[in-house]
Chains A and B, each alone.
Chain A
Amino acid sequence: MARIVLINPAPFIENDIEIKARQTSWPPLGLLYNGQILRQEGHEVKILDQDVSGYSSDEVMKWIKQKKPEILGLSPLTVSLESALQIAKMAKEWNEALIIVFGNILATLCYKQLLESYEFIDYCLRGETESTFPQFINTVTQAGDLQAILGLSYRKEGLIISNPAPPLNRNLDAIPIPDREALIDFDYKMGSHKFTILATSRGCPFKCKFCGVHLVSNSRGIWRPRSIKNVLSELQFLQSRGYEEFSFVDDCFTVNPKRTVQLCQKMRQEKIEMIWSCEGRIDQGTQEIFRTMYEANCHSLLLGIESANQRILDYYNKQITPEMSKKVISNVKKAGIENVAGLFVVGSPDETLSEIIHTLKFGLELDLTFIQYQLLHVLLGSEIWNEAVEKGLINEDKDWNRYLIAADIYPTAVKREIIENLINKAFIEFLARPKFLLKEVFRTAKSPYRLQNLFSLTEKKSKQEGR
């Protein structure tokens, strides 16, 4: 049986460890699923979340040396590629026999570039790897036939060999529930609560232009749910382990309103007392659905409002209107859900300055408890990426490892510095409005969740002073 180490590399290395450690509080769910399957096969598996640990590459290497792995798996995104490459290089220099395998979106879409450019990467495992990873481990440790492993890309006699992609896994219930604490030596917190994430489904039937959720599994338009019974068993397991809060991180949680209601009703019946949050679409919620979610302990909802301009919403292919956003926010509030956050995207290729300002102001007009304005990212493999490639604005061979912003690459877009400046001003305006502050005081006074958080701060402060 093999000793395996899986690493979620950090987006960037920052000196301030305290800030770094607070940057991300979401466990790497993909690695946890893979890790659990490998554990069940009898392998010794440990996962390191570099982002949360705050470890530098040297510290990660020290940790790897302690674990003495035979196989090292890394799961980089574009923003964390640099860290992943640094760790992989150091690991190979330490032990030439160590098998290094990359997974996730870059390994899926850019395996050729990775294997051609970096000698120390031995394999890329493409797509969802829950079914192929155990097979890969058994094959490489027993010198079996690599050609039999679907989704595997590797070097052979100077050539890059790429096996056919694995079929889409439609039976998500077959994936075991990860024992989070056995796999990662770190307690994730949301405020003062023991926190984790889970997904009740994968995929999304919508085709937003900027989105890339379908790229790893190549499942555009296909939504794959877990059974409610299977989701409940995971929730019961988490509750028994002392978790107090979780977030549903489905690509599209509210896609099937009937299922959402059923799940929430079952959660109530089964006495799931953990509080939770999720993301929702503007066009998928009535007051009744939100009320059921609230009754099942949903305390935060993140809504993708994106823009106040119909022209831009149509460009993103969002299939929503700004009026729908207003109505949904009012429904969520009436249902009793405490926190409603709005997500906005500005800086699309031909969005004018006045359209950007209109969106920023629209965010301030809505009755939101939090706001997030983002610049439009050009995600590798997304429709916007493909459009920019066609227009000659992106060179796929050179830019595959770059984190791109539309405002930087489109000559027609408003300059990034101007948009950043406007976003910062609008963000400050949102938080510092006296009306909003007064509402926050009342919300906090009424909310046991917020009060508990506030008291945990006082506790922490007095502990620090006591030292």
Chain B
Amino acid sequence: MASIWKSYILPAFITILFSAFSILIALVLIRFSWFLRRTLEHLIKKYGRDTIVKFFLQGNFKGLIELFLLDLREKKSLRVRASQR
């Protein structure tokens, strides 16, 4: 029994677990990639490609996150202003 467990069931279980994990990571990456595409399109339209480049050069994706947060803050303040009218 022990040898069947070690030779077949455990490796199969690990393979299935690893595959599931890989698929999950792949799905997360694909989903994030879609989100990033949409966000970049919007940011390029709003700030221009050169601004994106400069922010990215200041800290890779951290630069992009900062620009994204800046955009969110602007949107939020616009919403606040609109609701105050």
Binding site for B on A (CB under 8 A): 18-19, 22-25, 189-192, 339, 341, 369-370, 372, 423-424, 427-428, 431-434, 437-438, 440, 444, 450, 453-454, 456-457, 461
- For B29, the chain A residues whose CB sits under 8 A away are 434, 437-438
Chain B 25-48, CB-CB to A under 8 Å as 1, else 0, gives 110011011101100110010010
Of A192, A370, A424, A461, which one neighbours B44 at CB under 8 angstroms? A424
Known: A434-B29, A437-B33, A461-B69. A25 touches B47 (CB 8 A): no
- For A18, the chain B residues whose CB sits under 8 A away are 70
Bound together, the chains give a CA A158 to CA B61 distance in angstroms of: 56
B58 touches A22 (CB 8 A): yes
A24 touches B54 (CB 8 A): yes
Chain B 60-85, CB-CB to A under 8 Å as 1, else 0, gives 11111110011000000000000000
Counting CB contacts under 8 A, is B57 at the interface?
yes
Of B33, B52, B56, B59, which one neighbours A432 at CB under 8 angstroms? B33
A428 touches B37 (CB 8 A): yes
Chain A min CB distance to B48 (Å): 10
Counting CB contacts under 8 A, is B24 at the interface?
no
Closest residue of A by beta carbon distance from B53: A372
A427 touches B49 (CB 8 A): yes
Of A24, A25, A450, which one neighbours B60 at CB under 8 angstroms? A450
- For B59, the chain A residues whose CB sits under 8 A away are 190-192, 450, 453, 457
Bound together, the chains give a CA A370 to CA B26 distance in angstroms of: 22
A431 touches B69 (CB 8 A): no
Counting CB contacts under 8 A, is B15 at the interface?
no
A191 touches B36 (CB 8 A): no
Bound together, the chains give a CA A18 to CA B71 distance in angstroms of: 11
Known: A432-B36, A432-B37, A434-B30. A23 touches B54 (CB 8 A): yes
- For B65, the chain A residues whose CB sits under 8 A away are 457
Question: What DSSP secondary structure best describes chain B's contact surface?
Answer: helix
Bound together, the chains give a CA A431 to CA B36 distance in angstroms of: 8
Known: A23-B51, A431-B40, A457-B65. A191 touches B70 (CB 8 A): no
Chain A min CB distance to B78 (Å): 13
- For A372, the chain B residues whose CB sits under 8 A away are 53
Chain B min CB distance to A244 (Å): 13
Of B26, B49, B55, which one neighbours A22 at CB under 8 angstroms? B55
Chain A min CB distance to B11 (Å): 26
- For A23, the chain B residues whose CB sits under 8 A away are 51, 54
A434 touches B26 (CB 8 A): yes
Bound together, the chains give a CA A25 to CA B51 distance in angstroms of: 12
Bound together, the chains give a CA A127 to CA B44 distance in angstroms of: 37
- For A432, the chain B residues whose CB sits under 8 A away are 33-34, 36-37, 40
Known: A424-B49, A434-B29, A437-B32. A444 touches B60 (CB 8 A): yes
A19 touches B70 (CB 8 A): yes
**Extra contacts besides A438-B25, A456-B62 (13): CB < 8 Å:** A191-B59, A341-B57, A369-B60, A370-B60, A428-B40, A431-B56, A431-B64, A434-B30, A437-B33, A440-B60, A444-B60, A444-B61, A457-B62
17 pairs across A/B with beta carbons < 8 Å? Answer: A22-B55, A22-B58, A24-B54, A190-B58, A191-B58, A370-B56, A372-B53, A423-B49, A428-B44, A432-B36, A432-B37, A434-B26, A434-B29, A437-B36, A440-B60, A457-B65, A457-B66
- For B40, the chain A residues whose CB sits under 8 A away are 427-428, 431-432
Most buried by B among A192, A369, A432: A432
Bound together, the chains give a CA A46 to CA B41 distance in angstroms of: 41
Chain B min CB distance to A337 (Å): 14
- For B33, the chain A residues whose CB sits under 8 A away are 432-434, 437
Bound together, the chains give a CA A73 to CA B42 distance in angstroms of: 40
Bound together, the chains give a CA A454 to CA B60 distance in angstroms of: 10
Chain A min CB distance to B52 (Å): 8
Closest residue of B by beta carbon distance from A24: B54
Bound together, the chains give a CA A453 to CA B55 distance in angstroms of: 13
Bound together, the chains give a CA A317 to CA B54 distance in angstroms of: 28
Closest residue of B by beta carbon distance from A454: B62
- For B47, the chain A residues whose CB sits under 8 A away are 19
- For B52, the chain A residues whose CB sits under 8 A away are 427
- For B30, the chain A residues whose CB sits under 8 A away are 434
Bound together, the chains give a CA A432 to CA B63 distance in angstroms of: 15
A440 touches B61 (CB 8 A): yes
Closest residue of B by beta carbon distance from A443: B60
B60 touches A453 (CB 8 A): yes
Bound together, the chains give a CA A24 to CA B34 distance in angstroms of: 30
Chain A min CB distance to B43 (Å): 10
Bound together, the chains give a CA A436 to CA B14 distance in angstroms of: 27
B56 touches A428 (CB 8 A): no
